[in-house]
Structure 1
Amino acid sequence: MYSMDFSGIGSFESCLDDFPGTFVNPSSPMFHGVNWSNGFSNGNPRFDFEATSNVGNPSNIVITMAMTEHGSELLQELLSLKDSRISNRIFNMVFEFIFELMIHQFGRYFFQKLIESVDENRLQMIMEKLTVPENHIYHASLHKYGNFSVKKLITTLKRSPLITYVIKAFSNKFEKLMTDPTGRYMIMECLEVLDSRTNDLLYVRAMERCLELSRHEQGVVSMNACIARIKGPRRDQLLDWICYNVRFLAQDPTGNYVVQYVIGLNNPGINDQIFSLLDGLYVKLSMAKTGSHLVEQCLRLSGMNRVINEFLASNRLVFVAKDRYGNYVIQTALKESKKRNGRIHASLIMKLEEHLGCLRHGYGRNIRTLIQSL
């Protein structure tokens, strides 16, 4: 067994000087018998290995070290020495494989330590490697390990002009990231960690792709999360855009959830616009699965009078009351109006009592029972 002790920087540098920059797969036969350890000699990191005749020049295994649990820990300890000669030489050896390290189970920890240890020029080299010509940072964002590396990159660069590399890369793949259950967290990380000026390009993309995302099963979740995090004037612009398209979104089974979310923010000005723009749709929405939830939400807020007045003016009230979804809307209308507006409540009761005979069966029985108990 041989032991390599890096307590002397010179010996480690000479090892790195000989590194040819060729990646060696950890499963390669040349590493059979290798024994990694993460020990310390007088406070300095070292590693031990057996069968050096199989391994050859130990400098060739630095990339492979980064992709093993103990090897990654050892390299992190070397970076922790905060010696620029060591960190720069390690950087030069691993640079060509930076993306592979980002998405590796153990390599990602070394990557995260590396970007903390190198200077701005080398960080720029990393960002150029990850974004040009291929958008590697996008692919890493979708990866179960890579997304942790990207998150660390965002927090590391948040006060650096280099963060624009991330923003531009994300804006080019905005819709795909927002519709991916893993990728969307990278957009949210930017919106939470970075200031509104830095995020402006992402804000613009959110407005541009709002309708498409709102109609996507994953995208609608991301869109609501995005609305919650957008700051400044762009937030008002996005809400105005949603209001402008509210009739379209309200009638879409998925887009409906965006309208519900915005109403739930309880912004009086926005809600008044939405309730007004939905006039003429309340009866129709009440008999749709997601639409009925939206109408119930309107009833619980300042849209109650508008909704009930539409019910009273409609010749389809009995159909709403007998509908599998609509009956819950009418129940909510009766309960809310009783608490908040006796006059409109009495008018609704009177209108429904005209059809009690039709409410003896099916879902209508729920309305008949409730009227009798009020």
Structure 2
Amino acid sequence: MDSASLEPLQHSFGNLRVNNANVDINGNGRSSSLTWNGSSTGVLPSLDSTDRFLARQDRIIELAILEESSKHLQALILMKDPRITKLIFEGVIDNIFQLMISQYGRYLFQKILELKDEDMLQRIVEKLTLSDRNIIYNASIDRYGSYSVKKLIKVLQKSPLVSEIVKSLASSFWDLMINQTGHYAIMECLDILDSQRNDLLYVEAIDKWLKLATDERGFVALNNFIVRIKGSRRDQLLEQICEQVVFLSQHPDGHFVVQCVLGLQIPAFIQKICYELRGYYVKLSMQKGGSHLVEKCLKSSGLVHVVQEFLQSNQLVQLARNQYGNYVLQTALKEAMKTSGPLHESLVMKLRSCENLRELNHGYGRHILSLIATPILPLNKA
């Protein structure tokens, strides 16, 4: 770094100079022995011009959000001189939100967090949470602010202070979960904090899950939540989803949530879902979203419930000719074949006995006709 590249800082702090690649803080020729590349050969000198720093602290936030001067400030932080660090921190703390959402300032924010100074972290958390403006929420929904919030959570993960951040996130749970960027802050908590620290978020999810499940943006975030939630709260949430499975299965967004629960591969909840859906499988199979859900059931331990309903139905030809249903029926035939039981044979015989079987010669039905006309060979297992 040369004198010219240090110009932005010199304008703000008239006492910064560069001598032989070292930072001269005081402008008196007594430079710091810590070079800009991070190597250290001695002890940092005392500041003779602290007042000059303080007199221009109002400029630090302006510099922090500019690319080059932000890098210079980060370099000063890396020197780990507590006096310099304190001066920089005091210059940004009152504008911490502006720093967090800045494309370049966020890197200085991260460097300050990495110092893990308890007093600084305490003041940052207080600044972010003891406000009516809900700064945590506003930062979380910002493109760059989201990274800052996630970094804060990571640094605080073992600190009691993280509870204040979780509390703030929980207070805006719905708005964060339906925001494309905001929900990542909640997922960060679920990924790195334990169940006890996340409990407020769990409670909010249990309270608002149905509203989220039927929202075109919320169901995606809810699915991400479902695969991360742990402990007894998870079972509580899944139980409530199972109670609404018939409604959800026929909802354009809700069926994705049911599929997500099936994807967890928890036998007890698979059985509950597949049992509750009895009587709806044929109807669902002829719906765009429902057909994917029924295929999920067929590929699970709930296979028998679906096939038994097909065997009792008088709509198999209609199902075979349906643009969605034919794929479900193909899956049923192939999955039943894997079980080496009577389900496959019974399903084939049922289809062959249909009075309108000849109608399968046209359209989507031909896929089914080809499967029941010739034996289905079992898949080779590696």
Aligned equivalent of 1:362? 363
Partner residue in 2 for 1:306: 305
Of 95, 98, 101, 1:100 maps to: 98
Which residue of structure 2 lines up, in the alignment, with residue 143 of structure 1?
Answer: 142
Q: Distance in 1 between matches of 2:91 and 2:283?
A: 65
1:14 aligns with 2:51: yes
- Whether the 8 Å contact between 2:326 and 2:368 is mirrored in structure 1 is yes
Paired with 1:118 and 1:370, the residues of 2 have a C-alpha distance of 65
Query: How has the CA–CA distance of structure 1 residues 370 and 12 changed in structure 2, closer, same or farther, with 3 Å as cutoff?
Result: farther
Q: Could you tell me how far 1:247 is from its partner in structure 2?
A: 1.2
Q: In the alignment, residue 331 of structure 1 is paired with which amino acid?
A: Q
Q: What is the CA–CA distance in structure 2 between the aligned matches of 1:357 and 1:341, rounded to whole Å?
A: 28
The Cα shift of 1:94 comes to 1.6
- Cα distance, 1:201 vs. partner? 0.4
8 Å contact from structure 2 (residues 100, 148) kept in 1? yes
Aligned counterpart, 2:13: none
Report how far residue 10 of structure 1 moved. Answer: 1.5
Q: Which has the higher contact order (CA 8 A, sep 6+)?
A: 1
**1:227: how far off?**
1.3
Can you list the C-alpha shifts for 1:223-243, whole angstroms capped at 9, x where unaligned? 121111111111111111111
> Post-superposition shift, 1:135?
0.9
Q: Which structure shows the higher helix fraction?
A: 1
Residue 128 of structure 1, aligned match among 116, 126, 129? 126
Question: Is the 1:16–1:90 Cα contact (8 Å) retained in structure 2?
Answer: no
The separation in 2 between residues aligned to 1:159 and 1:343, in whole angstroms, is 56
Distance 1:336 1:119, change over 3 A: closer
> 2:241 maps to which residue?
242
Decide whether the 8 Å contact of 2:58 with 2:91 is kept in 1: no
Report the alpha carbon displacement of residue 357 of structure 1 after superposing the two structures with TM: 1.7
Q: Distance in 2 between matches of 1:248 and 1:286?
A: 15
Contact 1:115/1:156, CA 8 A, preserved across alignment? yes
Q: Is the CA contact 2:274–2:302 (under 8 Å) kept in the aligned structure 1?
A: yes
Instruction: Tell me the distance in 2 between the aligned counterparts of 1:208 and 1:90.
Output: 43
Letter of the aligned partner of 2:119 in structure 1? Answer: N
**How far is 1:154 from its partner?**
0.5
Structure 2: how far apart are the matches of 1:193 and 1:118? 18
Distance 2:196 2:71 in 1: 37
Shift of 1:60: 4.7
Q: Residue in 2 aligned with 1:51?
A: none
Structure 2 distance, partners of 1:12, 1:143, is 38
Alpha-carbon deviation of 1:167?
0.7
2 CA distance for matches of 1:115 and 1:183? Answer: 21
Query: Which secondary structure does the structure 1 equivalent of 2:227 belong to?
Result: helix
Instruction: Decide which of 108, 113, 116 is 2:114's aligned counterpart.
Output: 116
Q: Once superposed, what is the RMSD of the aligned Cα atoms?
A: 1.9
List gaps (5 residues or longer) in structure 1: 20-58
Q: Which residue of 1 aligns with 2:332?
A: 333
Any gaps of 5 or more consecutive residues in structure 2? 5-9, 11-15, 18-23, 26-31, 33-44, 376-382
TM-score normalised over the length of structure 2: 0.83
Q: Return the offset for 1:333.
A: 1.2
Distance 2:271 2:123 in 1: 51
Amino acid at match of 1:372: A
Per-residue Cα deviation, 1:136-191 (whole angstroms, up to 9, x for no partner): 11111111111111111101111111112211111111122112221111111100
Indicate how the Cα distance of structure 1 residues 12 and 316 shifts in structure 2: closer, same or farther if over 3 A, else same: farther
Q: Take 2:164 and 2:341, find their aligned partners in 1: how far apart are those partners?
A: 60
Using a 3 Å threshold, how does the CA distance of structure 1 residues 116 and 62 change in structure 2: closer, same or farther? same
Count of aligned residue pairs for this structure pair: 335
Amino acid of the structure 2 residue aligned with 1:102? M
Q: Among the aligned pairs, what percent are the same residue?
A: 50
Higher alpha-carbon deviation: 88-97 or 158-167: 88-97
Alignment of 1:189-200 (within 5 A): 189-200=188-199
Residues in 1 aligned to 2:343 and 2:147: alpha-carbon distance in whole angstroms: 55
Distance (whole Å) between structure 2 residues aligned to residue 299 and residue 119 of structure 1: 55
TM superposition shift of 1:118: 6.4
Deviations, residues 343-362 of structure 1 (Å, cap 9, x unaligned)? 22222222212231222222
Q: Which residue of 1 aligns with 2:255?
A: 256
CA distance in 2, matches of 1:356, 1:327: 14
CA deviation map 1:105-160 (0-9, x unaligned): 11111111123336433323222222212111111111111111111110111111
CA distance in 2, matches of 1:158, 1:208: 25
In structure 2, distance between residues paired with 1:369 and 1:191? 48
Query: Which runs of 4 or more aligned residues in structure 1 lie more than 4 Å from their structure 2 counterparts after TM superposition?
Result: none
Task: Give the conservation status (yes or no) of the 8 Å contact 1:292–1:326.
Answer: yes
Q: Is the 8 A contact 2:285 2:324 kept in 1?
A: yes
